[in-house]
Amino acid sequence: MKLKICGMKANTAEVAALQPDYLGFIFWEPSSRFFEGEIPELPDHIQKVGVFVDASIQEILDKMEKHNLQAVQLHGEESPEFCDELRVKSKLLGVRSSAVETSLAETNLKIIKVFSIKDDFDFSLLEPYEELCDYYLFDTQGKFPGGNGYIFDWSVLKNYASTKPYFLSGGIGLEDAEAIKEFRKRPESNYCYALDVNSRFEIEAGLKNIERLKEFKDLAVSHLFL
């Protein structure tokens, strides 16, 4: 299982030194973790994910080109048609980039579509997206599009009928290690591709607690729950 650390802002290089698989950068201005500036150079194996909430396709493409994003996480009400158009236009952007030999030309943009869950969820809502995105991400429905700091009832995922890999998100913290171990024993975890952590590992919004993240990552390496 992969690890994604989201809400990067203040100490990206320190977090990258922990060698996660994905780092998420939020490009939604109302967020306290809104990312501005330049992303520092990262190891090749760490994939950069741009997080967007009902942004225009052009805005996503601009950020994708500026930061050489390998994936985009769509956290709003983006339609299947939107995902389809984004995929097509991102490929065209890659073709144009090949003329100047940028690494973007070699990137097959991955689309992560987010769905928020509270007490229950109608998984039939996923069907129109099946052929149009690469991953789903299940987060906790709350006041904000993300970073609400508490988990949803993972037993809801018993009704997950797709075989598409998904990211498990929503208030996951170091204290949830035992719950993750138990979840991994259940059939609904079969397609859980990655854990996504954010607010429960922060000193303040956008400033990650390196020691807590390292402890969480060490649990992963020791295969206690990943």
The dotted CATH code for 2-221 is 3.20.20.70
Q: pLDDT tens across 4-16, in order?
A: 999 999 999 999 9
pLDDT at residue 105 in the model: 40
Report yes or no: 74 and 28 within 8 Å, Cβ to Cβ.
no
Q: From residue 62, how far is each of 121, 143, 181 by CA, in Å?
A: 33, 28, 40
**Pairwise CA distance, residues 154 & 161, whole Å:** 14
The full set of domain ranges for the chain reads 2-221
Digit-coded pLDDT (tens) for 144-173:
665 556 799 999 999 999 999 999 999 999
For 200-210, what is each residue's pLDDT tens digit?
A: 999 999 999 99
pTM: 0.92
What is the structure's pLDDT at 102?
47
* C-alpha closest to that of 20 among 194, 150, 149, 211: 194
